[in-house]
């Protein structure tokens, strides 16, 4: 079970940390040896943070490896709907569903050495080649693109270009962008470190 951990306090209240690492686990269980974030544990924690009279800010640490798209979007929607100050910090990598999770916060930051992987929705295993399947994946993809472009400064055209790039990844479609690139294209607000993220939250709380 994920824990809500107190990081510190200001005159206005406490800052708490939520780490979202590995794969986002939805209704389909992942192997026991896989590092996962279980969305059914995270959702009530986010609601509790928002409702708490003591907690005044939320720091979200991200190092994701993809996972269940529906579960990841559910977490992202809750974060985006919070009234309290929120800041995300991408560390290591933000793969696939980690992109909407990063931009869901009111302020998004990325470590200089971190990277984000943007690619289309896909699943492992056999896909039945029927029109309904393609329409289903198209609708999911459109939801992700709309969420990301609604909560960041990147344009829809640029995001689709990065997502459908065929020159970047071997045997795959998509793009890997690093810290400065993620900021320059408008996907992430700024380069930052732990101290930058905490400073932002303390300033928002005290103001």
pLDDT, tens digit, 9 for 90 and up, residues 108-140 = 999 999 999 998 876 655 555 666 666 777 788
Per-domain boundaries in the chain: 5-206
Number of H helices, E strands in the chain: 7, 9
Measure the CA angle with vertex 172, ends 141 and 159; round to 5°.
40
Q: Which residues are catalytic?
A: 96, 119
As its CATH architecture, domain 5-206 has Alpha-Beta Complex (3.90)
User: Can you tell me the mean pLDDT for 82-104?
Assistant: 91
How many other β-carbons are positioned within 10 Å of the β-carbon of residue 166? 9
For residue 132, the model assigns a pLDDT of 66
For residue 1, the model assigns a pLDDT of 36
């Amino acid at each position: 079970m994920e824990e809500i951990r107190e990081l510190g306090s200001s005159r206005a209240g406490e800052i708490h940390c939520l780490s979202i690492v590995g794969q986002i686990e939805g209704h389909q269980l992942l192997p026991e040896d896989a590092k996962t974030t279980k969305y059914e544990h995270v959702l009530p924690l986010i609601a509790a943070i928002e409702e708490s009279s003591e907690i005044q800010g939320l720091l979200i640490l991200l190092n994701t490896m993809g996972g269940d798209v529906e579960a990841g979007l559910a977490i992202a929607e809750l974060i985006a709907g919070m009234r309290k100050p929120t800041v995300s910090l991408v560390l290591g990598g933000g793969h696939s569903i980690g992109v909407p999770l990063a931009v869901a916060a009111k302020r998004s930051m990325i470590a200089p050495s971190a990277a984000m992987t943007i690619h289309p929705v896909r699943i492992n295993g056999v896909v039945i080649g029927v029109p309904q399947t393609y329409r289903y994946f198209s609708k999911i993809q459109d939801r992700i693109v709309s969420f990301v472009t609604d909560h960041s400064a990147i344009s829809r055209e640029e995001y689709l270009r990065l997502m459908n790039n065929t020159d970047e990844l071997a045997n795959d479609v998509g793009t890997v962008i690093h810290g400065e690139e993620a900021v320059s294209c408008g996907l992430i607000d700024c380069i930052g470190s732990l101290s930058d993220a905490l400073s932002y939250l303390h300033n928002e709380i005290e103001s």
